[in-house]
């Protein structure tokens, strides 16, 4: 059966973490996988999560199956968090959610639903997260790319992006990043999003918003703006949501797929399809992470605590960005890294080739992701000077 099965290379992001762990060099710097880290290099369990987890464990009376759409209460709480309790679409039943195994599970479930629809193709701006295209094309949909970011200029190439968007029609899906664009950190402005919505109304394509860093760009309310606007103004919207980063629940695989249908009846139909497709793949999502999130979002105290902790994480990421900019300014880099200070979330894309990325890893023990993506959470007081010197030698 498996005589011809080939050995595959490691995953470009997760595989890098393994190589990093095995690297014996003491001065190694991990700018790879997208996890939040403190200045001490730790990815902590949030206090609100610890407390909620204890409540879940203490009150759990059974390990019997959960409902097909996940831990009770989770999906509804995520809808309220993302759309706002006053959202008309939410109140009138135009939106629904199912819990999924992480954001990846949500993306894949959406891909499977789209593969069973009348989709022509899915379009995504380039570059995008290294797993988007493999994950979605594995669902059997065809993927097209249009330009999004000019790496040499370190800015969004909006003219080229919008030109690609204008060519989309009613059978097309446009994959967007909710906030904290991965891998560039460069988010569309509100004005640019408004333009996208106008074109979507005119051309009829379906926006699919991948939201994996809610709360990390400008805060929970502002980061939800793109989803809220699109849900309010467009007839159909898909959203994949991840609790990996904002609840720090990475390994608990906790996410959601959210859909807005043209009518409440269509939304019910979409919900039923999602559950049925999930049943054919993984039956139902793991309950633990969903139960923790539900516990937090159902409690005023835990929600306040969680929001405060998330805000502290967000401001640490902003500080790291500003530190990089300021240390770079004191070297031959001058203002070359200023763009990092204007971007959001964990990632920025350095204007370096894949050869240079490899050279940095082999010669300097500096781990960036292929394409030049760095996670600014890997920067701290003890490594920033060496890192900037190393970068000054490779960025012109
Ligand atoms: C990342 O982009 O580094 C994270 O989303 C982790 C992953 O699964 O790739």
pLDDT of 9-41, one tens digit each?
Answer: 999 999 999 999 999 999 999 999 999 999 999
Nearest C-alpha to atom 1 of ligand 1 is from which residue?
34
Q: Is the pLDDT of residue 235 over 90?
A: yes
Question: Of 210, 223, 260, 306, which one is the catalytic site residue?
Answer: 210
Instruction: Give the mean pLDDT of 76-101.
Output: 97
For ligand 1, mutation pick of 10, 15, 18, 34 (most atoms within 8 Å of CB): 34
Q: CA-to-CA distance for 337 and 391, rounded, in angstroms?
A: 10
Residue 104 CA: which ligand 1 atom is closest? 8
Check if 129 is active-site: yes
Q: Which atom of ligand 1 is nearest to the CA of 129?
A: 2
Please list the alpha-helical segments (H only) found in the chain: 14-22, 47-59, 74-83, 88-91, 102-115, 132-137, 158-166, 190-203, 220-223, 225-233, 264-281, 288-297, 300-329, 338-342, 354-364, 384-394
Domain with CATH 3.90.1150.10 in the chain: 12-44+309-392
For the stretch 39-53, pLDDT in tens is 999 999 999 999 999
216 Cα–ligand 1 center, Å: 15
What does the pLDDT look like over 200-219, one tens digit per residue? 999 999 999 999 999 999 99
Per-residue model confidence (pLDDT) at position 91: 95
Pocket (CB within 6 angstroms of ligand 1):
13, 33-34, 129, 131, 182
Phi then psi dihedrals of residue 82, to 5 deg: -80, -45
Ligand 1 atom showing the smallest separation from residue 32 Cα: 3
- pLDDT, position 228: 98
Q: Give start-end residues of each CATH 3.40.640.10 domain in the chain.
A: 65-298
> Is the confidence at residue 308, as pLDDT, over 90?
yes
207 CA distance to ligand 1 centroid (A)?
A: 22
182 Cα nearest atom in ligand 1: 2
Domain 65-298 classification at class level: alpha beta
What pLDDT was estimated at residue 396? 80
Q: Which CATH architecture has domain 12-44+309-392?
A: Alpha-Beta Complex (3.90)
Find the mean pLDDT for residues 195-199.
98
210 annotated active-site = yes
Angle 218-223-225 from CA coordinates, rounded to 5°? 130
H or E element, residue 174: strand 172-177
pLDDT band at 196; cut points 50, 70, 90: very high
Residue 39: Cβ within 10 Å count: 13
pLDDT tens-digit series, residues 126-164 = 999 999 999 999 999 999 999 999 999 999 999 999 999
Q: What is the pLDDT of residue 276?
A: 97
From 129, 172, 187, 306, active-site residue: 129
245 part of the active site = yes
- What are 334-343's pLDDT values in tens digits? 999 999 999 9
249 CA from centroid of ligand 1 (Å)? 13
The percentage of the chain sitting over the pLDDT mark of 90, rounded to a whole number, equals: 100
Q: How far is the CA of 32 from the centre of ligand 1 (A)?
A: 9
Compute, in angstroms, the gap from residue 342 CA to the centroid of ligand 1.
22
Minimum CA distance residue for ligand 1 atom 4: 34
For the CA of 250, the closest atom of ligand 1 is 6
How far does the centroid of ligand 1 lie from the alpha carbon of residue 129, in Å?
Answer: 8
Burial of 219 (0-12, 13-18, 19+ CB in 10 A): middle
Q: How confident is the model at residue 81 (pLDDT cuts 50, 70, 90)?
A: very high
pLDDT at 360 over 90: yes
Asked if 271 contacts 102 with a C-beta cutoff of 8 angstroms, the reply is no
Cβ neighbours of 88 (radius 10 Å) = 12
The whole-number pLDDT of residue 133 equals: 97
């Amino acid at each position: 059966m498996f005589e011809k099965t080939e050995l595959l290379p490691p995953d470009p992001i997760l595989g890098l973490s393994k190589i990093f762990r095995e690297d014996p060099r003491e001065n190694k710097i991990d700018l790879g996988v997208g996890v939040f880290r403190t200045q001490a290099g730790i990815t902590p369990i949030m206090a609100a999560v610890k407390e909620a987890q204890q409540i879940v464990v203490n009150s759990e009376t059974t390990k019997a199956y959960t409902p097909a759409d996940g831990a009770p209460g989770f999906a509804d709480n995520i809808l309220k968090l993302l759309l706002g309790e006053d959202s008309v679409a939410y109140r009138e039943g135009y939106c629904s959610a199912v819990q999924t195994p992480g954001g990846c599970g949500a993306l894949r479930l959406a891909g499977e639903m789209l593969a069973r629809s009348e989709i022509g193709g899915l379009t995504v701006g380039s570059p995008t997260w290294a797993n988007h295209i493999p994950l979605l094309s594995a669902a059997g949909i065809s993927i097209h790319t249009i330009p999004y970011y000019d790496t040499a200029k370190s800015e969004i190439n909006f003219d080229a992006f919008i030109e690609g968007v204008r060519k989309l029609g009613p059978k097309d899906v446009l994959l967007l990043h909710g906030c904290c664009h991965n891998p560039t950190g460069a988010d569309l402005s509100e004005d640019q999003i408004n333009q996208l919505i106008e074109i979507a109304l005119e051309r009829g394509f379906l926006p699919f918003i991948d939201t994996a860093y809610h709360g990390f760009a400008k805060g929970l309310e502002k980061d939800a703006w793109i989803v809220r606007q699109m849900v309010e103004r467009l007839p159909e919207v898909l959203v994949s949501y991840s609790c990996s980063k904002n609840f720090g629940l990475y390994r608990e695989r906790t996410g959601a797929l959210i859909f807005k249908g043209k009518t409440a009846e269509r939304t019910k139909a979409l919900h039923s399809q999602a559950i049925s497709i999930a049943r054919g793949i993984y039956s139902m999502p793991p309950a633990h992470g969903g139960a923790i999130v539900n516990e937090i979002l159902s409690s005023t105290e835990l929600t306040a605590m969680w929001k405060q902790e998330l805000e502290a994480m967000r401001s640490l990421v902003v500080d790291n960005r500003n530190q990089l900019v300021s240390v770079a300014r004191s070297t031959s880099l001058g203002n070359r890294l200023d763009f990092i200070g204007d971007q959001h979330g964990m990632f920025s894309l350095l204007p370096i080739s894949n050869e240079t990325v490899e050279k940095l890893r082999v010669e300097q023990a500096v781990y960036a992701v292929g394409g030049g993506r760095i996670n600014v959470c890997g920067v701290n007081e003890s490594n920033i000077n060496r890192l900037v010197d190393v970068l000054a030698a490779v960025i012109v």
